[in-house]
C-alpha cells in the first residue's frame, strides 16, 4: 500500500523524508499515492539519517535523487549543506523541503510557514470576504505564542505579509530576540492575558501547551480571547485543543494545526514536481490514516 508496488527503474525519480526517527512519517503514503495518481515515474521513501552532511554529499551526487523532505532533528543542521536557500527559510533558520536540481545543486525551502500562513489567510477571507491583491493579514495585530521553531515560522510569515507582530514566550529572552528580528513587540505570556487593545486580532499558538496527553491545558485563558477574530493552534494532537474550543465558543474563526500540516505538504509537492498538489487525495488519505 505504502509504495503502491511500483517498479523502480534507473530513471525513476527518488524522493524521501530524512529524519531520526522517521518511520512514523505519513509523507511516503501521501506522496506515493500522489505520484501514482498522475502517472509520475517516482517513488518516495523513508530515509533514517544520522549524519546529514554525509547524506547530502551523496544525495547531491546521484542522478536518481530528486528531492527530499526534512524533519526532526535535521531541519536546522541541513541548512549548511544547501547551495541555495529561500530567503524567509534562511531567516527562520530551518528548512523542511529540498529540491535537487539536474546539475546536482540543492535548493531548500521552509513550507511550514507557507502552510500555516495560507491557512490563516483563508480563514480571514472566510470571515471578511475576498479582497483581491493585498493579504488579509496586512495591518492585522498578530500575536504569536511561543518562540521555538514553529514560533519563528509564524512570526516571520506574518511579518512578511505586513502584520503587526507580537511575540510572547515563557522564556522572555527568546520572545525579545524573535520580536526584534521580525520588527515586532515582545511580551510575557502574563502580559498577553491582559492585552486587548483592539478587535479583530489574530492569535497563533506555537507552544506545546495543550498537546496530548495534557489536553486540559491552554496557553491563554478564555477571558483573554475576546478580541481575537481568528485563532490558530499549531498543535494537531489532539486536533481540537482546549484553546480552539474556547476560541470557537468566544466566536472566533478557528484554524486547525492539521491544516498547516497538510498545506505544507501541498507546497512540498509543488516544489518537487512543478505540478499542483492533488489536495483532495491528500486530505482523504490524511483522514483515513489519522
Ligand atoms: P517547536 O519547534 O514546535 O516550536 P520548541 O522549539 O521546542 O518546539 O518550542 C516549544 C515552545 O513551547 C517554546 O516557545 C516553549 O517556551 P520556552 O522558550 O520558554 O521553552 C513553549 N513551551 C513549552 N512548554 C511550555 C509551557 N509549559 N508553558 C509555556 N510555554 C511552553
| pLDDT for the residue 14 | 94
Give 170 Cα–ligand 1 centroid separation in angstroms. Answer: 7
Give 66 Cα–ligand 1 centroid separation in angstroms. Answer: 34
**CATH code linked to domain 13-109+260-288:** 3.40.50.10860
Please tell me the class of the 113-255 domain: alpha beta
CA-CA distance, 238 to 233, in Å (whole number)? 10
| pLDDT for the residue 55 | 96
The domains spanning 13-109+260-288 and 113-255 adopt the same CATH topology: yes
pLDDT in tens, 193-216: 999 999 999 999 999 999 999 999
Please report, for residues 41, 97, 157, 263, 269, the alpha-carbon distance to residue 38 in angstroms, rounded to integers and kept in the order given.
Answer: 9, 21, 31, 19, 12
Give the contacts of 136 (CB within 8 A, at least 6 positions apart). Answer: 121, 124, 125, 128
Average of per-residue pLDDT across 146-166: 96
At 5, is the pLDDT very low, low, confident or very high (cuts 50, 70, 90)? low
SS (H, E, C) 208-271: CCCCCCCCCCCCCCHHHHCCEEEEEECCCCCCCCHHHHHHHHHCCEEECHHHHHHHHHHHHHHH
Mean pLDDT for the chain overall: 94
Atom of ligand 1 nearest to the CA of 170: 19
Q: Is 170 in the pocket of ligand 1 (CB under 6 A)?
A: yes
Average of per-residue pLDDT across 4-13: 82
Report which protein residue has its CA nearest ligand 1's atom 12. 207
Average of per-residue pLDDT across 44-69: 94
Is-catalytic flag, 26? no
Strands 13-19 and 42-48, by their bridges, are parallel
| pLDDT for the residue 4 | 64
Statement: the pTM of the whole predicted model exceeds 0.90:
yes
- Considering the candidates 13, 36, 75, 181, report the single residue annotated as catalytic: 75
CA-CA distance, 207 to 244, in Å (whole number)? 14
The candidate with the shortest Cα–Cα distance to 30, out of 261, 232, 274, 233, is 261
The candidate with the shortest Cα–Cα distance to 228, out of 253, 201, 254, 198, is 201
| pLDDT for the residue 29 | 93
| pLDDT for the residue 8 | 85
Contact at 8 Å (CB) between 84 and 98?
no
Q: Has residue 289 got a pLDDT over 90?
A: no
Q: Could you tell me the three cell numbers for 87?
A: 530567503
Contact at 8 Å (CB) between 69 and 18?
yes
pLDDT in tens, 251-281: 999 999 999 999 999 999 999 999 999 999 9
207, 218, 237: residue to mutate for ligand 1 pocket, most atoms within 8 A of CB: 207
Give 69 Cα–ligand 1 centroid separation in angstroms. Answer: 23
CA-CA distance, 92 to 169, in Å (whole number)? 17
Atom of ligand 1 nearest to the CA of 174: 18
Strands 106-109 and 97-100, by their bridges, are antiparallel
Give residue limits of the domains in the chain: 13-109+260-288, 113-255
CA-CA distance, 15 to 27, in Å (whole number)? 10
| pLDDT for the residue 133 | 79
Atom of ligand 1 nearest to the CA of 189: 29
Give 275 Cα–ligand 1 centroid separation in angstroms. Answer: 35
Q: Has residue 1 got a pLDDT over 80?
A: no
Amino acid at each position: 500500500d505504502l509504495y503502491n508496488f511500483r517498479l523502480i527503474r534507473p530513471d525513476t525519480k527518488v524522493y524521501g523524508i530524512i529524519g531520526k526517527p522517521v518511520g512514523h512519517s505519513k509523507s511516503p503514503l501521501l506522496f506515493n499515492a500522489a505520484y501514482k495518481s498522475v502517472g509520475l515515474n517516482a517513488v518516495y521513501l523513508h530515509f533514517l539519517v544520522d549524519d546529514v552532511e554525509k547524506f547530502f554529499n551523496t544525495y547531491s551526487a546521484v542522478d536518481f535523487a530528486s528531492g527530499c523532505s526534512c524533519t526532526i532533528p535535521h531541519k536546522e543542521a541541513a541548512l549548511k549543506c544547501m547551495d541555495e536557500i529561500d530567503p524567509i527559510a534562511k531567516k527562520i533558520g530551518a528548512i523542511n523541503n529540498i529540491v535537487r536540481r539536474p546539475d546536482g545543486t540543492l535548493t531548500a525551502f521552509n513550507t511550514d510557514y507557507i502552510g500555516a500562513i495560507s491557512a490563516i489567510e483563508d480563514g480571514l477571507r472566510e470571515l471578511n470576504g475576498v479582497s483581491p491583491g493585498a493579504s488579509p493579514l496586512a495591518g492585522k495585530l498578530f500575536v504569536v505564542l511561543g518562540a521555538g521553531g514553529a514560533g519563528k515560522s509564524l512570526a516571520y510569515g506574518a511579518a512578511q505579509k505586513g502584520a503587526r507582530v507580537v511575540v510572547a514566550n515563557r522564556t522572555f529572552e527568546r520572545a525579545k530576540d524573535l520580536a526584534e528580528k521580525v520588527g515586532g513587540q515582545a511580551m510575557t505570556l502574563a502580559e498577553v492575558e491582559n492585552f486587548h487593545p483592539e478587535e479583530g486580532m489574530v492569535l497563533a499558538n506555537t507552544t506545546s501547551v495543550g498537546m496530548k496527553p495534557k489536553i486540559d491545558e491552554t496557553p491563554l485563558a478564555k477571558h483573554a480571547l475576546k478580541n481575537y477574530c481568528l485563532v490558530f493552534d499549531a498543535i494537531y494532537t489532539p486536533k481540537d485543543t482546549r484553546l480552539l474550543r474556547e476560541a470557537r465558543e468566544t466566536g472566533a474563526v478557528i484554524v486547525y494545526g492539521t491544516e498547516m500540516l497538510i498545506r505544507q505538504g501541498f507546497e512540498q509537492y509543488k516544489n518537487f514536481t512543478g505540478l499542483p498538489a492533488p489536495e483532495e487525495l491528500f486530505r482523504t488519505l490524511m483522514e483515513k490514516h489519522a
